[in-house]
Amino acid sequence: MELSDIRSQAKRAGESPGSLVYTGRKKNPTQVTVVNYSAEICNEETSDNPNKIIELIDKPGTNWIQVEGFNNLEILSRIQEHYKIHPLTAEDILTGQRAKLEEFDHYIFVTLKTLRWEKKRKKFAINQISIILGNHFVITFSDAPVDIFKKIEEKMKSNPKQRLREQGADYLFYRLIDAIIDQYFIILETLGELIDDTETLIISSPTRGHMRRLYRMKRETLMLRKSIWPMREAVSHLSQLNDKFISQFTRLYLRDVYDHTMQAIDTIETYRDMLSSMLDVYISSLTNRLNEVMKTLTVISTIFIPITFIASLYGMNFINMPELKWQYGYVTTLGAMGLVVIVMLVYFNKKKWF
Please state the rounded mean pLDDT for residues 169-186. 90
Please state the rounded mean pLDDT for residues 170-174. 91
Residues β-bridged to residue 141: 67, 130
Residue 109: pLDDT band (50, 70, 90) is: very high
Please state which of the ranges 39-48, 78-87, 175-184, 234-243 shows the lowest mean pLDDT: 234-243
Q: What is the pTM of this model?
A: 0.74
Mean pLDDT, the chain, rounded, equals: 80
The yes-or-no verdict on residue 232 having pLDDT over 80 is yes
Residue 14: pLDDT band (50, 70, 90) is: very low
Query: Which of 134-143, 158-167, 332-341 has maximum average pLDDT?
Result: 134-143
Question: Does residue 161 or residue 75 have the better pLDDT?
Answer: 75
Of 151, 130, 154, 149, which Cα lies nearest the Cα of 140?
A: 130
- What does the alpha-carbon distance between residue 64 and residue 132 come to, in Å, rounded to a whole number? 10
Mutual orientation of helices 248-313 and 169-204 as an angle, nearest 10°? Answer: 10
